[in-house]
Structure 1
Amino acid sequence: MEILANVLVALVAALHVYILVMEMFLWQKKPGMSFHGLDAEMAQRTAALAANQGLYNGFLAAGLVWGLIAGDPTGYRAQIFFLGCVIVAGVYGAATANRRILVAQALPGALALAAVLVAG
């Protein structure tokens, strides 16, 4: 179960690196605009906001990677904390911005958290 938990945590970290890239570097380019359904004007007006969001997603990814490489009990506790942050961010994003964030962000975080707790 520990291997499954580590794989799921790594996948959630990779997801947040992907979000970082989309929001910080591709927001005003075709992949970022089409992914988020933005036109060029809206992408330009919201680029600073998106870059800030991307940075925070990078912090989530960094915390999850730290949790994977740190020895226990620190690694275990870091995974629980940062997966909790991922879930809260996903629920908040779904409630305030787009419901699909619940499935795209909170659900993977919750599955990884469950696996980490069971592997505990």
Structure 2
Amino acid sequence: MQVVTNIVVALIAVLHVYILVLEMFLWEKPAGLRAFRQTKESAAATKVLAANQGLYNGFLAAGLFWGLLLGAAGHDVKIFFLSCVFIAGVYGAATASRKILFIQSVPAAIGLILVFLA
């Protein structure tokens, strides 16, 4: 069970690294424009804000990787950062796009359940 839990947590961390890359480096590129349904003009106007969001996603990923590296001692770290991911997803779904709920909050909820059960 612990192996499955760690794989799920790692996948969530990798997802947030991917979001970091999209928001910090690909925001104005075709992949970023497509992912966030932006026009070139709106992407240019929001580039700095997106990079800031990307950095925060990187911190979420770093926290999850840290929890994994700590092994059994990382239980509470994983709970904290998965909770942050969940809350950020709920807020994003309420304020930006409902899609974020399924991309971010649902995986975090699954990860939290697995961490509690492991």
> What is the TM-score when the length of structure 1 is the normalising length?
0.96
For residues 88 and 34 of structure 1, the distance between their equivalents in structure 2, rounded to whole angstroms, comes to: 25
Question: 1:35: how far off?
Answer: 1.2
Consecutive aligned runs of 4 or more in structure 1 exceeding 2 Å deviation: none
- State whether structure 2 residue 85 is matched by structure 1 residue 86: yes
Question: 1:27: how far off?
Answer: 0.1
Q: Which amino acid aligns with 1:64?
A: L
For residues 30 and 69 of structure 1, the distance between their equivalents in structure 2, rounded to whole angstroms, comes to: 34
Write the deviation string for residues 70-103 of structure 1: whole angstroms up to 9, x where unpaired: 1433x11100000000000000000111001000
For residues 71 and 27 of structure 1, the distance between their equivalents in structure 2, rounded to whole angstroms, comes to: 34
For residues 15 and 71 of structure 1, the distance between their equivalents in structure 2, rounded to whole angstroms, comes to: 20
> Comparing both chains, which one has the higher relative contact order based on Cα–Cα distances under 8 Å and sequence gaps of 6 or more?
1
Q: Which amino acid aligns with 1:118?
A: L
Gaps of 5+ in 1: none
How many residues are treated as equivalent by the alignment? 118
- State whether structure 2 residue 15 is matched by structure 1 residue 15: yes
- State whether structure 2 residue 30 is matched by structure 1 residue 61: no
For residues 71 and 9 of structure 1, the distance between their equivalents in structure 2, rounded to whole angstroms, comes to: 12
Question: 1:34: how far off?
Answer: 1.2
Residue of structure 2 in register with 1:50 after alignment: 50
For residues 41 and 71 of structure 1, the distance between their equivalents in structure 2, rounded to whole angstroms, comes to: 45
* Secondary structure of the structure 1 residue equivalent to 2:77: helix
